[in-house]
Amino acid sequence: MIYKVMTRSTPTYKGLIEYILNESKTPDSHIFTHNLRSKKRDVKNITKEFIENESYRKYSRSDQVFLNHEIISFSNMDSVKIQPAMIQDIMNRYISLRGENGVYLASVHQDTSQIHVHIMVSGLQYRSGRSFYIPKDKLFKLKKDLQEYQKEKYPEISYSLPNHGSKREYVTDRKWFAKHKEDRSIEKVILQKTIKEAFEISSTQKEFLNLLAKQNLHYYERSGSPAGIISGNSKFRFSRLGISKELFNDLPFDFTEESQALKEIELIRKSRNVNTNIEMER
């Protein structure tokens, strides 16, 4: 399996929740939750739960992570062998390795030939206010341990093993590099067309990013702002795909969702402080 992590420094919970729970991409039986009490399709209350959990944050920073968008994907060569119970078991293992004190919402998407699981993970531990950040060394160990579990428990899905941690022979063959460069160039040309078409019909940055997400092209951030998209195992900056930083910034950003989430977080935080003060006075 391939495991990717994308962090978000903006509280855009609702948009990602709507994408993960898209009815055309996943049935109810393929939705997983952990430390959430709302019904599986209840976007409004699931959003509230993530916002409420964020309100426990003790220390705020300009570059703080509000949520993580993580993806577990399997090779299309293994699709016919992958069963719902298998994914459920792998998800349980993933949560035990990633940390059971986080808030998780996940669903299996089968709208492409490659079965993949989209996972939304809270930036904070469940109601503690402490960061749920995963450093690079622990992330690497998580990938390796998850791979070993898959190998041992489900050897039949062998095409989905990326061999995290294995030593690879250093290749110097010029033909290999030329082929790799050619493949990336072809992918870039296709992406440029997709990006351009989506940008031309978008009236806001949010609409543009949502159009890309519908095609399974998810953005990554730099310094808290969308910087490019992830395609397969590669990252492409918007500027390399024909959308300069200036052009992207000229497109108005729909702050409605972000502003509303920040407002709700602050209201919950103030309400909790007031109740705490009343209890102390008593």
- Long-range contacts of the stretch 254-263 (C-beta < 8 A, 24+): 254/204, 254/205, 254/206, 254/207, 257/11, 257/12, 257/13, 257/14, 257/15, 257/206, 258/10, 258/11, 258/12, 261/11, 261/12, 261/13, 261/14, 261/47, 261/51, 261/54, 262/11
Residue with tokens 């994308």: 6
E strand or H helix at 70: strand 67-73
Question: How far is Cα 94 from Cα 100, in angstroms, rounded to an integer?
Answer: 9
Q: What's the pLDDT at 125?
A: 97
Question: How far is Cα 213 from Cα 190, in angstroms, rounded to an integer?
Answer: 16
pLDDT per residue of the chain (282 residues) written in tens, 0 to 9: 778 888 888 898 998 999 899 888 887 889 999 999 999 999 999 999 999 999 999 888 878 999 999 999 998 899 899 999 999 999 999 999 999 999 999 999 987 778 999 999 999 999 999 999 999 899 999 999 999 999 999 999 988 776 555 554 444 445 544 555 555 666 788 888 889 888 988 888 888 998 898 888 888 888 878 899 988 768 889 998 999 988 898 888 776 777 888 889 999 998 888 777 766 666
Q: What's the pLDDT at 132?
A: 96
Look at residues 208, 238, 206 and name the one whose alpha carbon lies nearest to residue 222: 238
Phi, psi of 7 (to 5 degrees): -95, 155
Q: What's the pLDDT at 171?
A: 42
Contact 106, 32 (CB under 8 A): yes
Q: What is the DSSP letter of 124?
A: B
Q: What's the pLDDT at 232?
A: 73
Domain annotation for the chain: domains and CATH numbers: 1-168+258-282 (3.30.930.30), 171-251 (no CATH)
The helix/strand/coil state of 67 is strand
Which amino acid type is present at position 268? I
pTM, 2 dp? 0.73
Contact 139, 5 (CB under 8 A): yes
Question: How far is Cα 229 from Cα 243, in angstroms, rounded to an integer?
Answer: 12
Task: Count the neighbouring beta carbons within 10 Å of the beta carbon of residue 63.
Answer: 9
